[in-house]
Amino acid sequence: MWESIRHRRGGFTARDVAKESAQDIRAVEQYVLSLRAAGVIEEAQPQPGILARHAQYRLISDEGAEHPRVNSRGERTKSAHGVENVWRSLRILGGDQTAADLASAASVGGVHITESAVIRYLVALAEAGYVTHNRYAIGQQSTFKLSAKGGTGPRHPVVQKYESMEIYDPNLDEVVFAKSSGNSADPVELSWLRLENKRLRELLGEWLQEKGSNGASRSLVERTQLEMIPMPRSAMQ
């Protein structure tokens, strides 16, 4: 969202940002109103009674690549620093780490995050394939380890929850995982469809590349067949 706002600094609406960043309009509205309260953006043409998603805004305080962390009152907050530190610790420490170890490593510089909050965050990332979750026998602590898929960059993936769940990777500037309830009113449903469309387009590109050869590889045929098997959306990974 923040990258889109910086790109459109001279004038934008919440709808513009939602469309460009592929984010839910409600989440964008909330963030835009928070930035306005913090004095980071302002209404370009104030109109009494206009909905936040239709109002025109402009950026008046560019704070760099990292998005401003503000609450609904426009106050600076450290709430996101906890999971940011967890992500950084996971990358730096490497190997298998317990939630307790990561909570301890991440609770520095006035930032505090609980062990249970670490578990919630990393279990969500494990669903997206960014983290390997090793569950051990009763009485032993499970551990977490950064997977190969999770090596996209230093910026922490953001877990966005509505009726279902989606994970946004700011390093790639895209939603990389969506777990949908199947409810068409659920904003995550749209993200699921975008991801499905992306996978199919990538497969089509491979087929077009194989067009001039003697035929598609066995791997390509098998992956295409798997995509054609109906799958419940709640199981999509």
Helix (H), strand (E) counts: the chain: 8, 8
Residues constituting the chain: 237
The per-residue pLDDT string of the chain (237 residues; one tens digit each, 9 = 90 and over) reads 888 898 888 899 999 998 888 788 888 898 999 999 999 999 988 777 777 778 899 999 887 777 888 888 888 776 678 888 999 999 999 899 999 999 999 998 888 889 988 998 999 899 889 999 988 766 678 899 999 999 899 888 888 664 567 788 888 877 788 776 555 444 444 555 565 666 677 777 777 676 655 666 767 666 666 655 444 444 344
Count of other CB atoms within 10 angstroms of residue 10: 8
CA distance 172 to 125: 15
Residue 202, C-beta contacts closer than 8 angstroms, at least 6 positions apart = none
Q: Which residue has the tokens 């390093």?
A: 171
Q: Which residue has the tokens 């062990």?
A: 115
**What's at 43, amino acid-wise?**
E
Residue 221 CA to its chain's centroid (Å): 31
CA distance 64 to 66: 6
Q: What is the DSSP letter of 232?
A: -
pLDDT at 137: 60
CA distance 28 to 17: 7
pLDDT at 79: 64
